[in-house]
A and B are shown apart, each in its own frame.
Chain A
Amino acid sequence: MTIYSVEDLHFGFGDTEILRGISLQFQSAQMAAVVGPNGAGKSTLMSILSGFRDDYTGCCSFRGVEIRDWKKRALGRQMTFIPQMIRLEFPFTAGQVVFMGRTPHCHGLFESEEDREAVRKAMEITETTAFAHREFRELSGGERQRVVLAGALAQEPKVLLLDEPTTFLDLKHQISTYSLLQRLARDGIAIIAVTHDLNLAASYADRIVVMSQGRIAADGEPENILTSSMLKEVFEVDAEIRQSPEGRPWVFCQSRDAYRSRDREGAVTTPQPVSSIPGHLPETSPDTSPPSPPTSQPKC
């Protein structure tokens, strides 16, 4: 089912054009990764999809109604957004931050049994129950990100927008977060995540949307989208695409320095994986060795 229908979307700050005519659709039960170089307009697109920026031109309809015409409370029961990071000025506990996800559902001042249950479940899934009573500001970056994710789950959305959800996460939680998102998509939720990690996106997303200079540069299944020519054109890197053991595309980049050393010494250096997931080839290993697997699937 089509959730978002975006048609010729434009947005700018003053004379600076950020989005220059975006047209695309997002479906439920699909996990889409939005990638692109810095300044491509990814975060701006997200803040329009989230209903936060409503001074765009063009059309952005959510479930058939223009997003700026939605009542916020009704919208908050359908969709939520996880920002890149939140900086808290006040001593809220992790549990209180998770509970904020219930705000659009809450009737009156106190939470209902249903609210409590949703919060409990969300914290269990994200393994954050242990710090429910700790102050949010005292948590590490990764723990905070999981608490924020728990808050989004407690909101029970049909659509989940994320802006770089794994920036501060350790390896285990990067994988468990992406598998969780994948599972949510299987359950019918539309996931739209901005990310810089092409290999995580390729491993988990059903679809990759590549943005460049305020336009859609490519859009489709990871296998068709991740190509050397696209990476050269959009990201300005020389990269090689191979296959992960699971048959997903896996991007290896060659850094500029590597080229310089090759030019000087005539030696071929090994491409570097762009992901923080293991797959890094030691300098001495032969070019033909397959990259190590992106670690085993988590159990959760």
Chain B
Amino acid sequence: MLSRKKFWFAVGLSALFFGAVAGLAPLIGSSSIELSRALAGESPDHEILFYARIPRVILAALAGGALAMSGVIFQALLRDALATPFTLGVQSGAALGAVVSICFGWRTFGVLPAVWVTAFVGAAVTIAVVVSIAAEGHRMSSFTLLLTGVTINSICMAAILFLHYTAGFTQSFAIVRWLMGGIESRDYSTLVGLSVLTVAALIVAIAKANDFNVLAVGEEWAATRGVNLSSLMLLAYLLGSFLTASITAFTGPIGFIGLLVPHALRLAIGADHRVLIPTSFFVGGGFLIVCDTLARTVMAPAEIPVGVITALLGGPFFIWLLRSRRGSLWV
């Protein structure tokens, strides 16, 4: 029950929001710049625009889009409205990796910063462990997946607490700062790699949207409606997890987007994953750009951790949305 017109209207509108925000955000900042000077290559406007702000906006866009999208995927996979990209322990695996790097004072592996590498490795190990335990039976079940993920999450959190406890003062500060999450400027080659990964995941997720619809209803329901359950669940888990892992390695954990954006969109346009997945990507990306712009301007030159902004800004909005739809939602 989805017409092409409705699909393109919803996706177009969200893309428009994304485009407008992404276009305007680089022009806003603590030091005012002139676009003509920046484009003419004049210093320092050129450097501020192209090496500080635009890369940061791109990373915020990718992170927001990827987290919102993987929120949608995990909620469908676990049939749990409260699932987030972090429910199954990917984030704490990444955090443990990052904390190890910080505690042992590792700076770089080759050309790559050590924190990124160990964070990604930590997340990947978590994913492998969760899959190997959850898929041990004859078929994967979302129940085992959930229990395994939550347990691994707790184990990683405990290890982080222990390392944090033994860490020195400087390291301790670095750990806390990393765990707050934040967007920073990255070099363009990193951003290109991240974009390719995210867009590829977006395309796969949209292609599987009809299957996610039946999976969101139930396992036996999906299995008798043309879906190969085990491979779809594995795909969903890996897709959501690797998106989360690769973003978290660069930004640290940024909460709330994976929960708030999908639900706000479900209230606005319904639960059909064919629309929900692309709009989540655009709205999530746009939303995080807005939050990060506020994070770097409100208390400039000091920065507010962006996770604080997402919750402070998004939370009240979400509650307002819930209340305005009380008739249908709070039954």
Contact = CB atoms under 8 A, between A and B. Distances in A.
Contact of B223 (A72, A88, A105, A138): A72
Interface stretch (A74-82, A171-179, A201-209, A266-274): A74-82
For chain B, which range describes its interface: under 10, 10 to 19, 20 to 34, or 35 or more residues?
35 or more
Interface string A101-122: 1011110011100000001000
A169 B80 CA distance: 28
Q: Return the 8 tightest CB-CB contacts between A and B, nearest first.
A: A104-B226, A76-B226, A90-B271, A81-B224, A55-B138, A95-B1, A73-B226, A52-B223
Interface of A: 47, 50-52, 54-55, 71-73, 75-77, 79-81, 83, 86-93, 95-101, 103-106, 109-111, 119, 132, 135, 137-138, 155, 161
Interface in B171-209: 206-207, 209
Interface of B: 1-4, 7, 75-76, 79-81, 138-139, 206-207, 209-211, 213-214, 216-221, 223-229, 266-267, 270-272, 274, 328-329, 331
Contacts of A104: 225-226
Most buried by B among A90, A93, A95, A105: A90
A254 to B, nearest CB: 37
Contacts of A73: 226-228
Contacts of A138: 328, 331
Most buried by A among B138, B221, B224, B266: B224
Contact of A103 (B1, B3, B227): B227
Contacts of B226: 72-73, 75-77, 103-105
B329 to A, nearest CB: 8
Contact of A106 (B210, B218, B221): B210
Contacts of A99: 1
A89 B266 CA distance: 11
Contacts of A91: 266-267, 270-271, 328-329
Contacts of B216: 89-90, 92
B141 to A, nearest CB: 11
Given A99-B1, A103-B213, A80 B79 contact: no
B271 A96 contact: yes
A109 B206 contact: yes
Given A73-B226, A110-B2, A137-B331, A93 B217 contact: no
B217 A100 contact: yes
15 contacts: A50-B220, A73-B226, A76-B225, A90-B75, A90-B81, A90-B266, A91-B267, A91-B270, A91-B329, A92-B217, A93-B1, A105-B226, A110-B2, A111-B2, A137-B331
